[in-house]
Structure 1
Amino acid sequence: MNKPFPPLFVSHGSPMIALEPGGTGAFLQRLGRTLDNGWGRPAAVLAVSAHTTAREAVLLAADRHEAVYDFGGFPPALYQLRYDAPGDPALARAIGQSSGVPVYDHGGLDHGIWTALRYIYPDADVPVIPLTLTPHATPAQLMALGERLQAVAQQGVLVVATGSITHNLRLMMQPDASGRRLPEDAPERTESAAFRRWFAERSAALDWDALANYRSLAPSAALMPPTDEHLLPWYVAAGAGGRTHAPRRLHDAVTFGSLGMDAYAFGPQAAALADALADPLGAPVQEAEVTERSQRGSRGSAPT
């Protein structure tokens, strides 16, 4: 490791991203390459997702974490993909001791975690330590939780929070004017664009008070995330980065007209990561290459 890792928030969108990477899958693949080149491999990924919830924050310290198929109604091929990563019980206990977060010997990677990590680290060779989300906590409480985890970057741990910057499945499933289901590349709704723009602007302005009170201040806040859980992981990663440096939006995208796929970095290294990703000399990752690499990683991570 060359320097501490910037905590990250990435939008995972539909579970189908695991089969159809699109632009966000290509971004996540390049993100992994950029981290490898500039920061090295992390000792572990501390992952918090909208889909692993509990009444309190706990760290999961299994020796091995298998992919969990916590969804239904998708093509059979999606359930054949594997992403089974090692855990690190000793490191989980060390993080728990330093942060005051309880540790349990349970395992499993929900789809918000493994569909993102299969592009960032396709060989499933980086240990993962899941952190449960408390979905009824306030943004301020989750930022405070993240602040208790600031030291993990100094231990070579990469915090990856996953959710969706905007998430309204009802809007996504609405038919278009001809009665057909919205395509993935449908034009973005004005409400989605306004919400995502507000979030990026308040982040750049270091307006933590506004961000913590997005429900009452952000445009179309009741529509774009009608429930909080997919946005709440953002605040854990933000807290882990600290309040001194402005969050940087690394990826600006939307699918199905209203499912925001934005990604953010936090903390002192956020700007350096944003600059590295924007470097025109960095080779862009093509979608076909992303698919091939992620399939190779899935085959390689089957349990033994």
Structure 2
Amino acid sequence: MTDRTPTLFISHGAPTLPIDPSMPREGFVSLADHLPRPQSILMLSAHWYTQRPAVSIATQPETIHDFYGFPRALYEIQYPAPGAPETAQRAAALLRAQGVQVDEEAHGLDHGAWVPMLLMFPNADVPVAQLSIQPRADAAHHFALGRALRALRDEGVMVVGSGQITHNLRAADFSARPEDADPRVTEFTDWFENHLAARDIDALLDYRKRAPHAEYMHPTDEHLLPVFAALGAADDDYTLGVQSLGTYQRALAMTNYVFGSAVQ
């Protein structure tokens, strides 16, 4: 028997996800309904990046509206979840034990964190801390971060990576229908999912050379790096859950992954 929490990768979509009825909001509600309730969440978002890892020790993190040109209603949303400074400091200690230098900051929740949390935990009653990503570092670096954090899962902490399984905004068409998806999206996501299912970590960490259309799907890979942290924190023999919610704006796939424990 194990009480380990699963780890997640979430494709958080556009900031308008909570208010746009054409987006798959209910999918995030359904995802949360099928997960154990965590004691706290450690979130790695594509939208908080630093030169070296940093944890947020804010006790009441502000809701950061880190986007421009969207409807006024979006800027009025607040997500008043409590912070999780103890989780942040525990994560920092685990990373430092592996020789990683870690900063501590009172950082708020960027939209990569609060947008999915708003849908998954609408009562804002799950404490959440953030750990920054390093966009100049590679997939292996983020996998190693996750591996160092694995012990958190025995303490009721859910490690969540939030980004996008495909993210080429230059190729996005905001008038496109889901059925207008670029076929290269499916080729890339099928490759990624097949290698996740096979637990082929070496291939996944080398995705930019091995995956079809990798550089097209991710001209820069900050939106994919969080998946490697979630993967690193998972068990070696994890079970893979896939929630495919479609492709939007032609090039932005909304796929979520759950890495569960093989023994329950």
Query: Please, what TM-score do these two structures have when normalized by structure 2?
Result: 0.92
- Structure 1 CA distance, aligned partners of 2:111 and 2:87? 23
User: For the Cα contact (< 8 Å) 1:92–1:103, is it kept in 2?
Assistant: no
- Structure 2 CA distance, aligned partners of 1:169 and 1:23? 17
- Structure 1 CA distance, aligned partners of 2:22 and 2:62? 24
Number of matched pairs: 259
Partner of residue 59, structure 2:
63
- 1:5 maps onto 2:5 in alignment: yes
Equivalent position to 2:81, from 80, 85, 109: 85
Task: Find the residue that maps to 1:45 and give its secondary structure.
Answer: strand
Partner of residue 257, structure 2:
264
Partner of residue 244, structure 1:
237
Superposition deviation, residue 244 in structure 1: 2.7
- Structure 1 CA distance, aligned partners of 2:178 and 2:245? 14
Task: Find the residue that maps to 2:193 and give its secondary structure.
Answer: helix
Task: Find the residue that maps to 1:81 and give its secondary structure.
Answer: coil
1:212-231 Cα distance to aligned partner (Å, 9 max, x none): 11111111111111110001
- 1:218 maps onto 2:211 in alignment: yes
Pairing of 1:1-304 with structure 2 (within 5 A): 3-20=3-20, 22=22, 24-35=24-35, 39=36, 41-100=37-96, 102-173=102-173, 182-268=175-261
Change (3 A) 1:21 1:45: farther
Superposition deviation, residue 17 in structure 1: 0.4
Superposition deviation, residue 144 in structure 1: 0.7
Whichever residue aligns with residue 99 of structure 1, its letter is L
**Greater fraction helix:** 1
User: For the Cα contact (< 8 Å) 1:167–1:259, is it kept in 2?
Assistant: yes
Task: Find the residue that maps to 1:77 and give its secondary structure.
Answer: helix
Partner of residue 297, structure 1:
none
User: For the Cα contact (< 8 Å) 2:5–2:158, is it kept in 1?
Assistant: yes
Superposition deviation, residue 242 in structure 1: 3.4
1:192-234 Cα distance to aligned partner (Å, 9 max, x none): 1100111111111111111111111111111111110001100
Q: Give me the CA root mean square deviation.
A: 1.9
Whichever residue aligns with residue 178 of structure 2, its letter is D
Superposition deviation, residue 252 in structure 1: 4.6
Larger Rg: 1
1:47-72 Cα distance to aligned partner (Å, 9 max, x none): 00100000111211111112111110
Superposition deviation, residue 21 in structure 1: 5.2
User: For the Cα contact (< 8 Å) 1:203–1:246, is it kept in 2?
Assistant: no
Query: Please, what TM-score do these two structures have when normalized by structure 1?
Result: 0.80
Q: Which ranges in structure 2 are unaligned for 5 or more consecutive residues?
A: none
User: For the Cα contact (< 8 Å) 2:17–2:23, is it kept in 1?
Assistant: no
Whichever residue aligns with residue 258 of structure 2, its letter is A
- Structure 2 CA distance, aligned partners of 1:31 and 1:76? 28
Change (3 A) 1:24 1:5: farther
Q: Which ranges in structure 1 are unaligned for 5 or more consecutive residues?
A: 174-180, 273-304
Q: After alignment, is 56-65 or 251-260 more displaced?
A: 251-260
User: For the Cα contact (< 8 Å) 1:48–1:130, is it kept in 2?
Assistant: yes
Aligned structure 1 segments of 4 or more residues deviating by more than 4 angstroms: none
